[in-house]
């Protein structure tokens, strides 16, 4: 059975800086060694744009080029974001995260049984509630 690992936006940024937890690094390395894809949500492109536009993230190139280069990396694929998942993000059970991007990532993980790699404490808390799987990075 394949392990599907989507990266939350914070994980996308941290993986690029090689500053992630050893457990997450091992899981990513194993997935790539087994020819499995590491997924990045399209919503992460939006978040990356917001972070750079607000001056909260400094990149050596434009956010668009940075994201485009990320998607060219071996094993990295753009996750699907179909309308049913977007709608499901509005109807999550339990004490779901309030951030729309986090809700979309959680709904995607729930729909496709993904194990999200994240540092976001709200997403990790939601996963601890049993609503989806997450791996702290």
Domain with 111 in it: 5-136
pLDDT tens digits for range 90-136: 999 999 999 999 999 999 999 999 999 998 999 999 999 999 999 99
Q: How far is CA 114 from CA 1, 41, 63, 69, 129, in A?
A: 12, 12, 26, 23, 16
The domain tally of the chain equals 1
What is the domain-level CATH number for residue 58?
3.40.50.1010
- What is the value of pTM for the model shown? 0.86
CA distance 79 to 53: 24
């Amino acid at each position: 059975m394949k392990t599907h690992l989507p990266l939350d936006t914070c994980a996308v940024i941290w993986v690029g800086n090689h500053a992630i937890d050893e457990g997450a690094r091992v899981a990513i390395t194993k997935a790539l060694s087994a020819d499995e894809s590491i997924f990045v949500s399209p919503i992460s492109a939006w978040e990356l744009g917001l972070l750079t536009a607000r001056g909260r993230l400094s990149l050596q190139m434009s956010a668009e080029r940075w994201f485009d280069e990320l998607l060219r990396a071996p094993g990295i694929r753009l996750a699907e974001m179909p309308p049913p998942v977007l709608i499901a993000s509005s109807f999550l059970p339990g004490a779901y995260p309030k951030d729309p991007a986090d809700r979309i990532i959680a709904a995607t993980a729930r729909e496709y049984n993904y194990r999200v790699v994240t540092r976001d404490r709200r997403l990790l808390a939601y996963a601890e509630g049993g609503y989806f799987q997450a791996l702290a990075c």
